[in-house]
Chain A
Amino acid sequence: MQSKLSDNELIEQTIAGNQSAYADLVKRHQRFVFTLAMRFAKNREDGEEIAQDCFVKAYRSLTAFQKQAKFSTWLYSIVYTTSMTFLRKKRLDTSSIDDQNNFLQIENHGSFDVNNAENKSRSFYLNEAIQQLLPDDAIIITLFYKGEQSLEEIAQVLGMEANTVKVKLFRARQRLKEKLERNLKDEVKELI
């Protein structure tokens, strides 16, 4: 059962030496942190490694957390920087992230299985399309829709201006729509 204490209360308890309070914090945020990590890593092993690394880093820096922003915003900025470092280590070209062709996908996370096509919902295709996006696009969409983060908070996480995030979100949704349409067309073709 998850704790009813706020993030800040759990942080105070953790700093006081209560590690089970930190376990509660991890349980509370692990799904979202792991999802964000997966937007970069594209496979579960790397995703878990990044997410784990983020929680360890956050623990070591808890005393430096100023509590001026939400804990989640602070934590997601750690996830973003850790994931970017991971990508750099993997020697993926993330410098020109607007160039879709430059993005090298490590693993096709949701490969199509013709026999199970009928079991796949539109949500599956949506997730698949998000996985095919560039990490920055995928992370902006995930933070906006699932992270309960405002444009200003996303800007803080990514170290950008709120207006830039707004434009990037618009472009990301356009690209997502295109990918989704293309994927669904391919599926129909294969079924015919």
Chain B
Amino acid sequence: MKSMEQTLWDYLDGNCTSDDYEKITKLIATNEAYSQKYNELIGLNEELLNIELEEPSMGFTYNVLASIREQELKNPLKTTINRNIISGIAIFFVSTIFLLLGYTLYSINWTGFGHVTLQNLGLTPIPLDGVITKPLMQGFLFFDLVLLLYFINDFFSKKSHQKSQTV
């Protein structure tokens, strides 16, 4: 059972049927308590409709756009990574792995427990003799070392920047 106040709010909000609407209109006209409550609620309703909205500072729009531009510099909207592309790449690699795994398992000659031999897949070996030399390996390791130092430096400079921002 709805209270008088609830009934009147439904009436004011237009949330009642046409039959209810007529009944309540009659009640307001004839019943003193309903009439009094209705006048009280309609006053509050009007005041609520006339509430003033808050006004942000003058530079609000400018600040929003500046913040957007700042974020765009970090991660431009046009270069935002498309999730479909990422999913496509992931699906390609996962399916390739599974296909290769499947083909490999299919190619295995299961002669018995502990005696599994892999059949010739028909792949020609890449001739690497004379390609991987000692100076090449040293150069490769040196490049790795430089890369590692670069990332360590980047990591610590980011950390110190974050620290200085929180202080």
Contact = CB atoms under 8 A, between A and B. Distances in A.
Given A26-B61, A173-B9, A52 B51 contact: no
A9 B46 CA distance: 33
B10 to A, nearest CB: 9
Nearest to B47: A126
Interface string A32-63: 10110010000010011001100110011000
Given A22-B68, A145-B48, A173-B9, A27 B61 contact: yes
A147 to B, nearest CB: 10
Instruction: Give 7 nearest A-B pairs by CB, closest first.
Output: A34-B56, A31-B53, A35-B54, A145-B48, A55-B64, A35-B53, A26-B61
A52 B67 contact: yes
Given A31-B54, A127-B52, 8 more contacts: A22-B65, A23-B65, A30-B60, A34-B54, A35-B54, A51-B56, A146-B53, A176-B44
Main secondary structure of the interface of A (DSSP, over half): helix
Interface residues of A, number: 37
A123 B47 contact: yes
A34 B55 contact: yes
Interface string A139-155: 00110011000010000
A126 B48 contact: yes
Contacts, number: 81
B136 interface: no
A130 interface: yes
Given A56-B71, A177-B44, A38 B54 contact: yes
A173 B43 CA distance: 13
Contact of A56 (B44, B53, B57, B64): B64
Interface in B1-57: 5-6, 9, 15, 44, 47-57
Interface of B: 5-6, 9, 15, 44, 47-57, 60-61, 63-65, 67-69, 71, 77
A166 interface: yes
A126 B48 CA distance: 8
A32 B53 contact: yes
Nearest to B12: A173
23 contacts: A22-B68, A23-B65, A26-B60, A26-B61, A30-B60, A31-B55, A31-B56, A34-B54, A35-B54, A44-B57, A47-B54, A47-B56, A56-B67, A59-B68, A126-B47, A126-B51, A141-B48, A142-B51, A145-B48, A145-B51, A146-B51, A166-B15, A176-B44
B66 to A, nearest CB: 10
Contacts of A127: 51-52
With most chain B CB atoms within 10 A of its CB, the pick from A26, A123, A151 is A26
A38 B60 CA distance: 14
A120 interface: no
Nearest to A48: B56
A56 B48 contact: no
With most chain A CB atoms within 10 A of its CB, the pick from B54, B68, B69 is B54
Nearest to B54: A35
A130 B54 contact: no
Contact of B68 (A48, A56, A177): A56
Contacts of B5: 170, 174
Contacts of B61: 23, 26-27, 30
Given A23-B65, A174-B5, A122 B54 contact: no
